[in-house]
Amino acid sequence: MQHQIKPPAGSRHSRKRVGRGEASGHGKTSGRGMKGQKARAGGQIPPAFEGGQLPLVKRLPFTRGFVNIFKVEYSLVKVGELDRLEADAEVTPEVMVQAHLARSTDRPIKILADGDLSKALTVQAHKFSARAKEKIEAAGGKVVEIGNAGRNP
């Protein structure tokens, strides 16, 4: 029954009452030891404090600049690599992953203009370079840009 539930024996402790006389076992210095910075009121020292030695944080070179949290990392595929696929094919991100042109569909795909294309392909990707678009269309293919390349709408 719910009203009979009790915590396991030894799992609950009464709080330590310090400074209540020598007989309590926690009198006089109240568990703080003898003198020193840590025995004083307000004597907490920060975790990175190294006793006055120049801290590790200051000894290391500065990390300059900032990290852009909105940066979109693209999976890059070259036009020349698309030439391995059969002609008149519908090239989607899933097809590129199966053909080992891209690692996974987790990142948006960008097509770059490196290499030559000799087949007409319908290429679907999140982004294209201007020259990549020209090369695909010059080979008789079609460029389809998939929306929402970034992770943030």
The contacts found for 93-97 with CB under 8 angstroms, 24 or more apart, are: 93/124, 93/125, 93/126, 93/146
Average pLDDT rounded to a whole number, residues 11-26: 93
Query: Per residue in 28-75, pLDDT tens?
Result: 999 999 999 899 998 889 888 999 999 988 888 887 788 899 999 999
Strand, coil or helix: 121 = coil
Q: Is 57 within the bounds of a domain? A: no
117: domain CATH number?
A: 3.100.10.10
Confidence of residue 153 (pLDDT cuts 50, 70, 90): very low
Q: For the ranges 63-72, 86-95, 137-146, which has the lowest average pLDDT?
A: 63-72
Residues shown for the chain:
153
User: What would you measure as the largest C-alpha separation in the chain, in angstroms?
Assistant: 95
Look at residue 127 and tell me if it is in a domain: yes
Instruction: Tell me, yes or no, whether 124 lies in a domain.
Output: yes
Q: What is the pLDDT of residue 48?
A: 87
Q: Which domain holds residue 105?
A: 75-145
Whether the pTM exceeds 0.85: the reply is no
Q: Is residue 116 part of a domain?
A: yes
Residue 29 lies in a domain: no
